């Protein structure tokens, strides 16, 4: 993540100055100095590991290969700052294959606030999910075993969301494109957990390319706050009694944080509580008790306010709410939209044949891997999708943009793993592998075909798992006489392939 290269730097600078002037009365003189000192330091990029595909020891290996100096993010066990890097974290094959996600450290906080018991299969609504950073974190924290509805009302932003989740290799999710305000009335008391990473004014004091700062008028701020309250209430309605909801923003404006929680508490007293989450942080980072002209209810202080100098992050706000009672019964519920979407599950005999073929061709035992995910296989055009079975049970014919992951594709030689299928399950393939000599790896990562030094024992046009001598997965190739055709998608190809030794 680079610093902002805005076409109007003066607007960004003005926004920062305005925000600083507004926030000055919220901090003691000592804290204010600490904040100003912090803002002089560059913000280190950070990465969050994908435990579906790799383990913390892999992160240490990458650090050696790519010359990274790492520092753990104190509130996220799968997060590390990359303080120095010979090769940028965004330019590795591991990044392109979804082994980790690059994310500002503060954004790792909200999903860490959820309490998920091991082996649970929670039903989760991510109300404002694009481009999907926190959804990937939810997938990781639930080991892709629950069912996540990744929703965003912005049609333009859904493409990025789909791509991020596809790259992450998530199976148990559906992408939808509805206003978050609708979910509470459509699906009251349905979800075990709801994340609202709310649209906000982005007054984080650390402008990034992905989070630019711009001046915000009081009117715009008020409209944002109204939308945040409506989304928060919708999310709470969609939550089961006993369920948990995290409310988060990447702004430090009290109007969009403490005041939003207060508004919901006042409107529906006794429906939810704000829980203390100090155990998730290395040091306290409480929300405001008051602004110069207003005091907030005491439990609002249980929320977390990340001033940048607390843990060297961008500014951020997050709170975990617990629903303790139902909403008043007079609130209107409406039926959700429906679309005819018959799910063409594969027949048991077809599934058995497929599993046998994958064992024979790739040494891949897919059955237990999909059973852990409680996923079924269904055919759509020339693809087989791994689909969360829970979707049909809970959401029936709700229109979706994407459901599950395209795992296999039909070829004249039979079913073969897709790129995403290979990125997710390639390490479980004991056969059907081609090991590239080290000197050919950079050309391969640049998307070039490479010669096959030793012709493999498979028929021409077989799709194989490509690895290097260390066993790291480098995508798929197609055997073509004396060469291996490169099947890396264009978006995965690296312009400048780093050497790793």
Ligand X SMILES: C[S@@+](CC[C@H](N)C(=O)[O-])C[C@H]1O[C@@H](n2cnc3c(N)ncnc32)[C@H](O)[C@@H]1O
Contact 168, 98 (CB under 8 A): yes
Contact residues for 244 (Cβ-Cβ < 8 A; gap 6+): 114, 115, 192, 193, 194, 275, 320, 321, 322, 323
> DSSP characters for 294-311?
EE--GGGGGSEEE-HHHH
When binding is defined by CB under 6 A, the residue of 98, 146, 184, 199 that contacts ligand X is 199
* Greatest alpha-carbon span in the chain: 77
Q: Taking CB under 6 A as the rule, does residue 456 contact ligand X?
A: no
Distance CA 342, CA 331 (A): 32
Residue 345 Cβ, how far from ligand X at the closest point, in Å? Answer: 31
Indicate if 250 belongs to the active site.
yes
Does 106 engage in binding with ligand X (CB under 6 A)? no
Number of residues that bind ligand X (CB under 6 A): 19
| Type and span of the H or E element at 414 | strand 414-417
- Determine, following the binding rule CB under 6 A, whether residue 405 of this chain makes contact with ligand X: no
Residue 453 near residue 469, CB atoms below 8 Å: no
Q: Which of residues 47-86 bind ligand X (CB under 6 A)?
A: none
Q: Count H helices, E strands: the chain? A: 16, 24
Q: Quick one: which segment of 128-136, 338-346, 428-436, 459-467 binds ligand X (CB under 6 A)?
A: 128-136
Tell me if 140 sits within 8 A of 172, measured CB to CB. Answer: no
Between 150 and 281, CB nearer to ligand X: 150
Q: Could you tell me whether strands 239-249 and 46-49 are parallel, antiparallel, or unpaired per DSSP bridges?
A: unpaired
Residue 134 makes contact with ligand X by CB under 6 A: yes
Q: Contact at 8 Å (CB) between 137 and 195?
A: no
Rule CB under 6 A: is residue 185 a binding residue for ligand X? no
Question: x/- contact string, 141-180, with ligand X (CB under 6 A)?
Answer: -----------xxx--x---------------------xx
CB 240 within 8 A of CB 36: no
Least CB distance to ligand X at residue 399 (A): 15
Cβ proximity of 287 and 196 under 8 Å: no
Identify which of residues 107 and 166 has a Cβ nearer to ligand X in the complex: 107
Closest CA to 272 of 318, 327, 217, 207: 327
Binding to ligand X, residues 216-235 (CB under 6 A):
231
Stretch that binds ligand X, among 126-134, 346-354, 417-425, 478-486 (CB under 6 A): 126-134
CB of 123 to ligand X, least distance (A): 18
Q: Is 152 labeled as ligand-binding?
A: yes
Alpha carbons 408 and 145: distance in angstroms, whole number: 20
Nearer to ligand X, 131 or 188 (CB): 131
Of the pair 164, 384, the CB lying nearest ligand X is at 164
Choosing from 133, 235, 308, 315, the residue that interacts with ligand X (CB under 6 A) is 133
Phi (first) and psi of residue 275, to 5 degrees: -90, 145
Interface residue with ligand X, options 79, 122, 132, 426 (CB under 6 A): 132
Minimal distance, residue 372 CB to ligand X, in Å? 26
To ligand X, the closest distance from the beta carbon of 107 in angstroms equals 6
Rule CB under 6 A: is residue 98 a binding residue for ligand X?
Answer: no
Tell me which of 192, 197, 262, 420 binds ligand X, using CB under 6 A: 197
Identify the CA nearest to 428 among candidates 417, 437, 438: 417
Q: Is 58 annotated as a binding residue?
A: no
Catalytic residues: 250
Query: Annotated binding site for S-adenosyl-L-methionine: which residue ranges?
Result: 152, 197
By CB under 6 A, name the binding residues for ligand X. 107, 127-134, 152-154, 157, 179-181, 197, 199, 231
């Amino acid at each position: 993540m680079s610093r902002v290269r805005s076409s109007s730097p003066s607007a960004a600078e003005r926004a920062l100055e305005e925000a600083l002037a507004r926030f000055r009365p919220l901090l003691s003189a000592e804290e204010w100095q600490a904040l100003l000192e912090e803002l002089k330091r560059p913000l280190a990029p950070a990465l969050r590991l994908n435990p579906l595909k790799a383990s913390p020891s892999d992160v240490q290996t990458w650090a050696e290969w790519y010359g990274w100096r790492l520092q753990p993010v104190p509130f996220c066990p799968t997060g590390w700052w990359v303080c120095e890097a010979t090769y940028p974290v965004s330019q590795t094959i591991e990044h392109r294959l979804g082994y980790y996600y690059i994310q500002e450290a503060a954004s790792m906080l909200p999903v860490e606030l959820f309490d998920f018991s091991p082996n649970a299969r929670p039903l989760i609504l991510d109300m404002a999910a694009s481009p999907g950073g926190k959804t990937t974190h939810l997938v990781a924290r639930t080991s892709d075993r629950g069912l996540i509805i990744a929703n965003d009302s912005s049609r333009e932003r859904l493409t990025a969301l789909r791509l991020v989740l596809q790259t992450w290799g998530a199976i148990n999710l559906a992408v939808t494109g509805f206003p978050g305000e609708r979910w509470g009335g459509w699906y009251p008391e349905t979800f075990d957990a709801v994340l609202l990473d709310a649209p906000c004014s982005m007054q984080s004091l650390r402008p990034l390319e992905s989070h630019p700062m711009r001046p915000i008028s009081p009117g715009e701020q008020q409209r944002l706050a109204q939308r945040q309250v409506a989304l928060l209430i919708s999310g709470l309605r969609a939550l089961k009694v006993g369920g948990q909801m995290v409310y988060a923003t990447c702004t430090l404006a009290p109007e969009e944080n403490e005041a939003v929680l207060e508004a919901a508490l006042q409107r529906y007293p006794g429906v939810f509580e704000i829980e203390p989450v100090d155990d998730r942080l290395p040091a306290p980072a409480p929300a405001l008790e008051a602004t110069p002209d207003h005091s907030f209810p005491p439990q609002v202080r249980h929320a977390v306010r990340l001033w940048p100098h607390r843990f060297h992050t961008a500014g951020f706000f997050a709170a975990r709410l617990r629903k303790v009672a139902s909403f008043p019964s007079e609130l209107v519920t409406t039926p959700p939209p429906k679309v005819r979407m018959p799910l063409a599950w594969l027949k048991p005999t077809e599934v058995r044949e497929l599993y046998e073929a994958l064992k024979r061709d790739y040494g891949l035992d897919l059955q237990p891997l999909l059973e852990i995910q409680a996923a079924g296989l269904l055919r759509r055009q020339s693809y087989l999708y791994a689909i969360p079975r829970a979707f049909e049970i809970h959401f029936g014919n709700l229109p979706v943009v994407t459901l599950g992951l395209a795992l296999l594709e039909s070829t004249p030689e039979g079913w073969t793993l897709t790129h995403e299928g290979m990125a997710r399950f390639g390490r479980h393939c004991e056969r059907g592998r081609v090991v590239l000599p080290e000197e050919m790896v950079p050309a391969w990562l640049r998307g070039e075909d490479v010669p096959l030094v030793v012709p493999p024992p498979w028929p021409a046009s077989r799709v194989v798992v490509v690895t290097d001598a260390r066993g790291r997965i480098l995508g798929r190739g197609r055997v073509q006489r004396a060469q291996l055709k490169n099947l890396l998608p264009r978006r995965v190809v690296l312009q400048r392939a780093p050497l790793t030794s």
